[in-house]
Amino acid sequence: GQNIDQPTEMTATEGAIVQINCTYQTSGFNGLFWYQQHAGEAPTFLSYNVLDGLEEKGRFSSFLSRSKGYSYLLLKELQMKDSASYLCAVPNNYGQNFVFGPGTRLSVLP
Protein backbone atom coordinates (compact mmCIF):
# COMPACT_ATOMS: atom_id res chain seq x y z
CA GLY A 1 0.00 0.00 0.00
CA GLN A 2 0.88 3.65 -0.09
CA ASN A 3 0.85 6.28 2.64
CA ILE A 4 1.59 9.98 2.35
CA ASP A 5 2.07 12.49 5.15
CA GLN A 6 2.15 16.29 5.05
CA PRO A 7 1.76 19.00 7.68
CA THR A 8 -1.83 20.20 7.87
CA GLU A 9 -1.23 23.93 8.02
CA MET A 10 1.60 26.42 7.66
CA THR A 11 1.82 30.17 7.92
CA ALA A 12 4.45 32.45 6.39
CA THR A 13 5.00 36.12 5.66
CA GLU A 14 4.89 37.80 2.27
CA GLY A 15 8.36 37.88 0.71
CA ALA A 16 9.66 35.01 2.83
CA ILE A 17 10.64 31.44 1.91
CA VAL A 18 8.64 28.41 3.02
CA GLN A 19 9.35 24.69 2.75
CA ILE A 20 6.46 22.21 2.65
CA ASN A 21 7.46 18.64 3.43
CA CYS A 22 6.00 15.38 2.22
CA THR A 23 6.95 11.89 3.36
CA TYR A 24 5.70 8.81 1.59
CA GLN A 25 5.75 5.05 1.85
CA THR A 26 5.19 3.09 -1.31
CA SER A 27 5.92 -0.43 -2.50
CA GLY A 28 7.01 0.84 -5.90
CA PHE A 29 8.02 4.30 -7.05
CA ASN A 30 6.99 6.13 -10.22
CA GLY A 31 7.80 9.67 -9.21
CA LEU A 32 6.17 12.30 -7.04
CA PHE A 33 3.88 15.17 -8.03
CA TRP A 34 3.10 18.48 -6.37
CA TYR A 35 -0.16 20.29 -7.05
CA GLN A 36 -1.47 23.67 -5.92
CA GLN A 37 -5.14 24.05 -5.08
CA HIS A 38 -6.84 27.34 -4.26
CA ALA A 39 -9.97 27.04 -2.14
CA GLY A 40 -12.92 25.74 -4.14
CA GLU A 41 -10.89 25.33 -7.31
CA ALA A 42 -9.20 22.52 -9.22
CA PRO A 43 -5.67 21.40 -8.37
CA THR A 44 -3.06 22.63 -10.85
CA PHE A 45 0.22 20.87 -11.59
CA LEU A 46 3.38 22.35 -10.11
CA SER A 47 6.15 19.78 -10.43
CA TYR A 48 7.10 16.16 -11.01
CA ASN A 49 10.24 14.54 -9.56
CA VAL A 50 11.37 11.06 -10.47
CA LEU A 51 15.12 11.36 -9.78
CA ASP A 52 16.83 12.52 -6.60
CA GLY A 53 17.70 16.16 -6.32
CA LEU A 54 16.27 19.61 -6.73
CA GLU A 55 14.15 20.77 -9.66
CA GLU A 56 13.83 24.53 -9.92
CA LYS A 57 11.02 26.28 -11.72
CA GLY A 58 10.90 30.00 -11.11
CA ARG A 59 9.90 30.79 -7.53
CA PHE A 60 9.00 27.15 -6.88
CA SER A 61 11.45 24.29 -6.44
CA SER A 62 10.86 20.66 -5.56
CA PHE A 63 13.28 18.23 -3.99
CA LEU A 64 13.21 14.44 -3.86
CA SER A 65 15.13 11.83 -1.87
CA ARG A 66 13.99 8.36 -2.87
CA SER A 67 16.09 6.59 -0.23
CA LYS A 68 14.42 8.64 2.51
CA GLY A 69 10.90 8.64 1.03
CA TYR A 70 10.93 12.40 1.31
CA SER A 71 10.14 15.41 -0.82
CA TYR A 72 9.72 19.09 -0.23
CA LEU A 73 8.30 22.02 -2.12
CA LEU A 74 10.18 25.29 -1.66
CA LEU A 75 8.37 28.54 -2.34
CA LYS A 76 10.49 31.70 -2.52
CA GLU A 77 9.51 35.37 -2.46
CA LEU A 78 6.09 34.48 -1.19
CA GLN A 79 3.13 36.40 -2.54
CA MET A 80 -0.39 36.66 -1.17
CA LYS A 81 -1.67 34.64 -4.13
CA ASP A 82 0.44 31.69 -2.93
CA SER A 83 -2.09 31.15 -0.14
CA ALA A 84 -3.49 27.76 -1.13
CA SER A 85 -3.33 24.06 -0.33
CA TYR A 86 -0.35 22.14 -1.64
CA LEU A 87 -0.94 18.48 -2.43
CA CYS A 88 1.72 15.82 -2.69
CA ALA A 89 0.80 12.80 -4.85
CA VAL A 90 2.46 9.50 -5.63
CA PRO A 91 1.44 7.25 -8.54
CA ASN A 92 0.70 3.61 -7.80
CA ASN A 93 2.80 0.70 -9.02
CA TYR A 94 1.27 0.85 -12.49
CA GLY A 95 1.80 4.57 -12.80
CA GLN A 96 -1.74 5.58 -13.64
CA ASN A 97 -3.52 6.15 -10.35
CA PHE A 98 -2.38 8.69 -7.82
CA VAL A 99 -2.53 8.56 -4.07
CA PHE A 100 -2.83 12.08 -2.72
CA GLY A 101 -1.61 13.32 0.61
CA PRO A 102 -3.97 15.29 2.87
CA GLY A 103 -2.58 18.61 1.60
CA THR A 104 -0.86 21.46 3.42
CA ARG A 105 -2.84 24.67 3.72
CA LEU A 106 -0.47 27.61 3.44
CA SER A 107 -1.51 31.05 4.60
CA VAL A 108 0.64 33.97 3.47
CA LEU A 109 0.31 37.00 5.73
CA PRO A 110 1.17 40.61 4.84
- The number of residues in the chain equals 110
Largest Cα separation within the chain, whole Å, is 43
Return the residue of 44, 65, 79, 107 that touches another protein, per CB under 8 A. 44
Bridge partner residues of 20 (DSSP): 73
* 106 makes contact with another protein (CB under 8 A): no
Q: How do strand 44-49 and strand 32-37 relate by DSSP bridges?
A: antiparallel
Shortest gap between Cβ of 74 and another protein (angstroms)? Answer: 20
Binding residues for another protein (CB under 8 A): 4, 8, 30-31, 33, 40-45, 48, 50, 87, 91, 94-103, 105
